[in-house]
Amino acid sequence: MAFITRQCIRSLSSSAALNAAIKHVTVIGGGLMGAGIAQVAASTGHSVVLVDTSEDILKKSAKGIEASLKRVAKKKFAEKPEDGEAFVQKVLKNISTSTDAVSVVQGTDLVVEAIVENLKVKQDLFGALDKAAPERTIFASNTSSLPIADIASSTARLDRFGGLHFFNPVPMMKLVEVIKAPGTSQQTFDALLEFSKALGKHPVSCKDTPGFIVNRLLVPYMLEAVRLHERGHGSKEDIDVAMKLGAGYPMGPFELLDYVGLDTSKFIIDGWHEKDPDNPLFAPSPLLNKLVAEGKLGKKTGEGFYKHK
């Protein structure tokens, strides 16, 4: 009877913790996505710790966040620049940095991971954090292509593990895909939805399927454009113009591939092809593979399908 009582108390306290608003957020990964998530969370009054492996990376992240906040303030407080500066400093005070993920998660409500798209690396990270974080802490991955259930399998908190897929640039893009894996509890999912809304984002509910919603449609679309070009059925320039003027897209598929990164797109499609080799939508592209092998990865390297200054 005592055991049952203890279990009930533990369950009730866990439920209460999950129903409480998320106030303290730990973001793992100081790249563009992680820094963007940290900025948005701090801007909406959350206490944020941004974590990465080196102080140099974190200093670069901090400079990027400050520059981004100043751009926001310039527009938001055009007539009162002094209020804009106060806004920037207020947000920056909500952000601290650390190279020790294990220590900082001991007092956090939510961990958002935004590191390299490598399943083992993510599993190793969450496996270590799972031992240090309180029972109430929710874990979430910002993965764009890996199954949430596979990442969560390295932890003992499948019910408190979900996906929060933000879009680049995070401060500008309103969408967040909130992913409910098979083990994710409804309370955890609801907490992630409410957190997304608290950030001023528009969350959409997703199942734990390849690419969720956006990338499941977007990546095959971009690859089909490459196949169209490979077959000689259209130049990349004409295909881009056709999709912009005919479908109202802000960028054509080749422009978008260069923006996203050819290596990123190849990584996603290769992973899906490995899991579902008979699906023609997931077939690799010889041209994409060639460009990646040559180091032509898009805007970040100065050349992809197009040359960039």
Among 65, 159, 148, residue whose Cα is nearest residue 113? 148
Is 168 labelled as part of a ligand binding site?
Answer: yes
Is 122 labelled as part of a ligand binding site?
Answer: yes
Is 33 labelled as part of a ligand binding site?
Answer: yes
Is 127 labelled as part of a ligand binding site?
Answer: no
Is 232 labelled as part of a ligand binding site?
Answer: no
DSSP letter for each residue of 21-67: PP-EEEEE--SHHHHHHHHHHHHTT-EEEEE-S-HHHHHHHHHHHHH
Q: Which residues are catalytic?
A: 144, 165, 177, 215
Contact status, residue 55 vs residue 99, Cβ threshold 8 Å? yes
Measured distance CA(61)–CA(34) in Å, rounded: 9
Contact status, residue 107 vs residue 24, Cβ threshold 8 Å? yes
Is 80 labelled as part of a ligand binding site?
Answer: no
Amino acid, single-letter form, for residue 211:
G
Is 63 labelled as part of a ligand binding site?
Answer: no
Cα angle 244, 76, 97; round to 5: 95
Among 112, 183, 180, residue whose Cα is nearest residue 153? 183
Measured distance CA(283)–CA(264) in Å, rounded: 15
Amino acid, single-letter form, for residue 202:
H
Is 84 labelled as part of a ligand binding site?
Answer: no
Is 31 labelled as part of a ligand binding site?
Answer: yes
Is 52 labelled as part of a ligand binding site?
Answer: yes
Is 144 labelled as part of a ligand binding site?
Answer: yes
Residue 261 φ/ψ, nearest 5 degrees: 115, 120
| Binding region for CoA | 68, 75, 144
| Binding region | 29-34, 52, 68, 75, 117, 122, 144, 168, 300
| Binding region for NAD(+) | 29-34, 52, 117, 122, 144, 168, 300
